[in-house]
A and B are shown apart, each in its own frame.
Chain A
Amino acid sequence: DAMVIQNPRYQVTQFGKPVTLSCSQTLNHNVMYWYQQKSSQAPKLLFHYYDKDFNNEADTPDNFQSRRPNTSFCFLDIRSPGLGDAAMYLCATSGAGGEEQYFGPGTRLTVT
């Protein structure tokens, strides 16, 4: 089945230790998104790629970076995680602008 896969599902990192979360898709979608979701809150868009074009949200901290080496994969790098970065990180894809988004199961990040 076509899907969006996120690894790992749970990630524990230490304060200040860089961490990378990964997302892959078999849907061949043009657009890939990264969201941060804290407990009982709405998903907050961090950035998205339309093909290779990177689009950063104005309020996304510089601590968050992303890479998309090819259509299928996208990575979220947190350079120096703080306690406030503990959250669920959701990856999503869509085939074109404005259509439904397909979400992965998320990676729950804990910062100790």
Chain B
Amino acid sequence: SQQGEEDPQALSIQEGENATMNCSYKTSINNLQWYRQNSGRGLVHLILIRSNEREKHSGRLRVTLDTSKKSSSLLITASRAADTASYFCATEGNFGNEKLTFGTGTRLTIIP
């Protein structure tokens, strides 16, 4: 399976703290994306980082990519209760076939 792995599987933190989630994958990629999914809803795209980029920021989100280790991390700073959701990484392989392979996800709970 080419599915990525995320850790931790679940994470609970106090509101205001930072949350870090990690993603590992197996094959060469064109880009890696992070998505958020609220319970029972569709996924929402958060950020895309290309294989030639090492770090990217968007608001309270910071993503890093290490292609030598085939890993990425998502940092959410100053967490809020509304950040409670599942977070998935997804990779696009370098085959040019429009497909994403999703990781197993991290369930993040922010405690008010």
Q: List the interface of chain A (C-beta within 8 A of B).
A: 4, 6, 31, 40-45, 48, 50, 55, 88, 90, 92, 94, 96-106, 108
Contacts and interface: CB of A to CB of B under 8 A. Distances in A.
Interface string B76-112: 0000000000001000100011111011110100000
A37 to B, nearest CB: 9
Contact of B92 (A44, A98, A104, A106): A98
9 contacts: A43-B88, A92-B43, A98-B92, A98-B98, A99-B48, A102-B45, A103-B42, A103-B44, A106-B40
Interface string B2-46: 010000000000000000000000000011010100001111110
Interface of B: 3, 30-31, 33, 35, 40-45, 48, 88, 92, 96-100, 102-105, 107
Contacts of B3: 42
Contact of B98 (A6, A42, A94, A104): A94
A101 B59 CA distance: 20
Contacts of A41: 104-105
Contact of B99 (A4, A45, A100, A103): A45
Nearest to A57: B99
What are the nearest 6 A-B pairs in CB distance? Answer: A103-B42, A97-B98, A42-B102, A100-B45, A98-B92, A103-B43
Given A31-B98, A42-B105, A43-B102, A101 B45 contact: yes
Contacts of B44: 103
Nearest to A97: B98
